[in-house]
């Protein structure tokens, strides 16, 4: 046998039983986006490296050490492009909005779902290929839209039955306020330079705010005692924050103000927030976002405000499972077809096609290398499939132009004959009242 080839480290196969949970979540997400009038956008996996360097910021974990970047083959002029597999979705969404001038007739509300790539140390809740659901509301300036994106997430948690998350909120103010804070922050960290780790020392002058985002527990004290940006906010920034808080309060959305919350990406201003849990260890942030009014200009567009968030799908599903995975029902067929010898298969498949056209979910027993197997072994498979009915294509029945339908789940074992000539008539009685795996 040839040597086996395994998947790339940190990149997971999502196999059928687990993928059904993903489809369930994705179905609810699509419904949820429709309720809030957010429209789907799909951008390429590969972008020019410059987009992320400019959009995310040079002094960030992602750009400094996590990107999958490469030089493409040269074209006929000997020019090679620097490309990167997208590590997040916002920069690309903004690039597309600018490139296609989507804001020409007013604001846009967008969402995306798909794989992202970061070369991190793989561990539970942290992978090299992972998946995000993200939303972006572009062209809207007020705290009402900050509230809308947060309420959209909060109501999504409700619909999928996620209870173990809490909301943390902060304001990063505006550039002038950050500059005043930055000076005092640098002074504070210089005073305690001996307590900074390597990343901290390197960022002390390039991006001291990011030191607050450290995951190093040894730096907790020096970070906790640092001057707080929220104390440097002017009237307008405070009014924005208070406007958001009033809407969240009116909607019963609980939150705490976390002055250390600065987010891992450079492009945020005013509102930043995270939904966090204590149940996933160091990978406790399930959804994170904020306002990024300056990003569109950085990417070459006409100045426009924007706010959004991104959610880690793996983390949300892990947390749901941790909690007992309410809501999700594994998909099962309505009917399992128990089949006779090969000569009957044309009639069997004709009947099954008619059933499927009538909306019935049908799993056909198919022959393995050793043939169909006995009716008994087929019934075992029918049972294991979870189907509510077995549809038995016995030779005698077929000769009479009939097929036998047997109840598998209600304990009755009841059987009845159904005419092959009129599948649509009895097909209607076979489906589950609510389709399995449907969205609530």
Q: What are phi and psi of 109, to 5 degrees?
A: -115, 125
Known binding residue 372? Answer is no
Q: Which is nearer to ligand ATP, 12 or 385 (CB)?
A: 12
Pairing of strands 402-407, 415-419: antiparallel
SS3 85: strand
Known binding residue 301? Answer is no
Cβ atoms of residues 124 and 311 within 8 Å: no
Token pair 């020392």 is at which residue? 201
Count of H-run helices and E-run strands, the chain: 15, 16
| Least Cβ distance, residue 133 to ligand ATP (angstroms) | 9
| Least Cβ distance, residue 364 to ligand ATP (angstroms) | 38
User: Can you say whether residue 88 is alpha, beta or left, with left for phi > 0 and alpha for psi between -120 and 50 degrees?
Assistant: beta
Q: Which positions ≥6 away from 310 have C-beta within 8 Å? A: 88, 89, 90, 132, 133, 134, 287, 288, 289
Q: Which is nearer to ligand ATP, 118 or 181 (CB)?
A: 118
| Least Cβ distance, residue 91 to ligand ATP (angstroms) | 11
Number of neighbouring beta carbons within 10 Å of residue 165: 21
Known binding residue 38? Answer is no
| Least Cβ distance, residue 285 to ligand ATP (angstroms) | 4
Known binding residue 88? Answer is yes
Q: Which is nearer to ligand ATP, 214 or 363 (CB)?
A: 214
Cβ atoms of residues 419 and 402 within 8 Å: yes
Known binding residue 267? Answer is yes
Known binding residue 416? Answer is no
| Least Cβ distance, residue 13 to ligand ATP (angstroms) | 15
| 180 vs 106: CA distance, rounded Å | 34
Q: Which is nearer to ligand ATP, 275 or 393 (CB)?
A: 275
Known binding residue 90? Answer is yes
| 192 vs 221: CA distance, rounded Å | 10
Q: Which is nearer to ligand ATP, 312 or 340 (CB)?
A: 312
Q: Which is nearer to ligand ATP, 134 or 301 (CB)?
A: 134
Burial class (CB in 10 A: 0-12, 13-18, 19+), 247: middle
Q: Which is nearer to ligand ATP, 120 or 402 (CB)?
A: 120
Cα angle value 241/211/206 (rounded, 5°): 100
| 220 vs 422: CA distance, rounded Å | 73
| 287 vs 167: CA distance, rounded Å | 9
| Least Cβ distance, residue 311 to ligand ATP (angstroms) | 6
| Least Cβ distance, residue 181 to ligand ATP (angstroms) | 21
Q: Which residue is nearest to ligand ATP (CB)?
A: 312
| 203 vs 223: CA distance, rounded Å | 13
The DSSP code sequence of 125-150 is TB-SEEEEEEEEEES--SHHHHHHHH
| 153 vs 287: CA distance, rounded Å | 8
Known binding residue 136? Answer is yes
Interface positions with ligand ATP (CB under 6 A): 88, 118, 120, 125-127, 130, 132, 264, 283, 285-288, 310, 312, 314-315
256, β-bridge pairs? 168
| Least Cβ distance, residue 104 to ligand ATP (angstroms) | 29
| Least Cβ distance, residue 276 to ligand ATP (angstroms) | 9
Binding site, by residue number, is 88-90, 118, 132, 136, 263, 267-268
Binding site for L-histidine, residues?
88-90, 118, 132, 136, 263, 267-268
């Amino acid at each position: 046998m040839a040597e086996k080839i395994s998947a790339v480290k940190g990149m997971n196969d999502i196999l059928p039983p687990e993928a059904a949970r993903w489809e369930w979540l994705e179905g609810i997400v699509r419904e949820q986006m429709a309720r809030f009038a957010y429209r789907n956008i799909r951008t390429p996996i590969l972008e020019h490296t410059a987009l992320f360097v400019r959009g995310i910021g040079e002094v960030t974990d992602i750009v400094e050490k996590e990107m999958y970047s490469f030089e493409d083959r040269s074209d006929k002029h000997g020019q090679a492009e620097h490309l990167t597999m997208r590590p997040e979705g916002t920069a690309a969404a903004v690039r597309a909005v600018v490139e296609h001038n989507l804001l020409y007739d007013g604001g846009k509300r967008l969402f995306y779902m798909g794989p992202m790539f970061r070369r991190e140390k793989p561990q539970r809740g942290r992978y090299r290929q992972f998946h995000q659901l993200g939303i972006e509301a572009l062209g809207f300036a007020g705290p009402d839209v900050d509230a809308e994106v947060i309420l959209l997430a909060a109501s999504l948690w409700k619909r999928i039955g996620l209870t173990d998350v809490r909301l943390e909120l902060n304001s990063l103010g505006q550039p002038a306020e950050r500059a005043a804070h930055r000076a005092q922050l640098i002074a504070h960290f210089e005073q305690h330079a001996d307590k900074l780790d390597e990343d901290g020392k390197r960022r002390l002058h390039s991006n001291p705010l990011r030191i607050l985002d450290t995951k190093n527990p040894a730096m907790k004290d020096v970070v906790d005692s640092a001057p707080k940006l929220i104390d440097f906010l002017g009237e307008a920034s405070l009014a924005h924050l208070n406007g958001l808080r009033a809407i969240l309060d009116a909607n019963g959305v609980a939150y705490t103000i976390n002055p250390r919350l600065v987010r891992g990406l450079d492009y945020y201003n005013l509102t930043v927030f995270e939904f966090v849990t204590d149940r996933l260890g160091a990978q406790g942030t399930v959804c994170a976002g904020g306002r990024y009014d300056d990003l569109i200009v950085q990417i070459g567009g006409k100045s426009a405000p924007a706010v959004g968030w991104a959610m880690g799908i793996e983390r949300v599903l892990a947390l749901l499972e941790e909690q007992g995975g309410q809501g999700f029902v594994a998909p099962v067929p309505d009917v399992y077809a128990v089949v006779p010898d090969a000569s009957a298969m044309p009639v069997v498949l004709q009947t099954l096609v008619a059933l499927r056209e009538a909306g019935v979910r049908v799993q056909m027993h198919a022959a393995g290398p050793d043939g169909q197997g006995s009716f008994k072994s087929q019934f075992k498979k029918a049972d294991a499939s979870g189907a509510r009915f077995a549809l038995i294509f016995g030779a005698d029945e077929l000769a009479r132009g009939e097929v036998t339908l047997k109840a598998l789940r209600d304990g009755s074992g009841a059987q009845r004959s159904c005419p092959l000539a009129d599948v649509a008539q009895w097909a209607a009685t076979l489906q589950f009242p609510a389709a399995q795996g449907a969205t609530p």
